[in-house]
Structure 1
Amino acid sequence: MEPLVRKRNGKVVPFSRFRIINAIHKAMKATQIGTKADAEKIADAVSIFLYRNYFKKGDIPHVETIQDIIERTLMERGFPEVAKAYILYREKRRQAREIGQALVDGINLIEEYIGNEDWRVKENSNMSFSLQGLNFHVSSSIVAR
């Protein structure tokens, strides 16, 4: 049976050792520490850990779990600077995902208002359907969240 990984969106995809090698190698290039061969050795260690602790049992690890294992393996194998760069990159990507989601949420709020899809648009007798009403709807929705 082919080993599988659960992505952030919940989709299950085949495990790829090459993706791990590429991620580690990029962090090594960014810090100018380590080689492609080092990245492959660390990816091998991560893969072995995953096979023994997840795939062998039929478990499907989450991508975040795999990234945590990569961080720990980098530290254990004497690459703390690379691990730090990898951690910082993960945090920047997480922030970018949050910003992207906030933009989508904002667009959805505006579309809900314009399409009269949100019950609060119709129920607020103190506010007319206008730009001011849109501003109030968006700001009150953000505060509520």
Structure 2
Amino acid sequence: MPVNTPTPTHVIKRDGAIREFDLAKIAVALARAGQAAAEFDAARAQQLAQQGVLPRLQALGPVTPHIEQIQDAVEATLFDAGHRATLRAYIVYREQHRKLRDARRSLVDVEASMNEYLQQTDWRVNANANQGWSLGGLIL
């Protein structure tokens, strides 16, 4: 990697928020995964972050990476370094958290729908004059 390759300064979170890029957070995530799989320690995690993940992110050019791109770079680094058990654990962890985010989003959607129905702010409640305060009206 050329010396003048830009290092990311910010990251785009899943909600679209832009935060400061922090390679130490990546190293901590790698260390936790490596220790959970009993493959490597914090020093090796720091090395993987610095020599594996960072160059992959720099290869993206002068763009602000999305959190998913960073996690993909972590997976590629673990694969290339031969840390298969850690890679599996990292992928499973990532998928579990995706499911948790989806479940939280569904819960919020249900709560919002209930509130819209009860406060009669949902156009579907007002549009159906034949439905009163009933389960059928809520299911709209």
TM interval, short-chain normalised: 0.7 to 0.9
| Alignment partner, residue 3 of structure 2 | none
Equivalent-residue separation in structure 1 for 2:111 and 2:42 (angstroms):
43
Alignment TM-score, normalising by the size of structure 1: 0.85
1:15 aligns with 2:60: no
Equivalent-residue separation in structure 2 for 1:102 and 1:109 (angstroms):
10
Residue correspondence of structure 1 range 27-42 to structure 2 within 5 A = 27-42=33-48
List runs of 5+ in structure 1 lacking aligned partners: 141-145
The root-mean-square deviation of aligned C-alpha atoms, in Å, is: 1.5
Aligned partners of 2:131 and 2:137 also within 8 Å: no
Q: Which has the higher helix share?
A: 1
Describe the superposition over 1:3-42 as per-residue Cα deviations: whole angstroms up to 9, x where unpaired. 1111111111111111101111111121111111111111
Describe the superposition over 1:81-139 as per-residue Cα deviations: whole angstroms up to 9, x where unpaired. 1011001000000000000010100000000001110111012133212xxx2x33443
| Alignment partner, residue 143 of structure 1 | none
Residue correspondence of structure 1 range 106-145 to structure 2 within 5 A = 106-129=110-133, 133=134, 135-140=135-140
Runs of 4+ in 1 over 3 A off after TM superposition: 137-140
List runs of 5+ in structure 2 lacking aligned partners: 1-5
The offset of 1:47, in angstroms, is 1.2
The offset of 1:48, in angstroms, is 2.3
Equivalent-residue separation in structure 1 for 2:81 and 2:123 (angstroms):
56
Alignment TM-score, normalising by the size of structure 2: 0.88
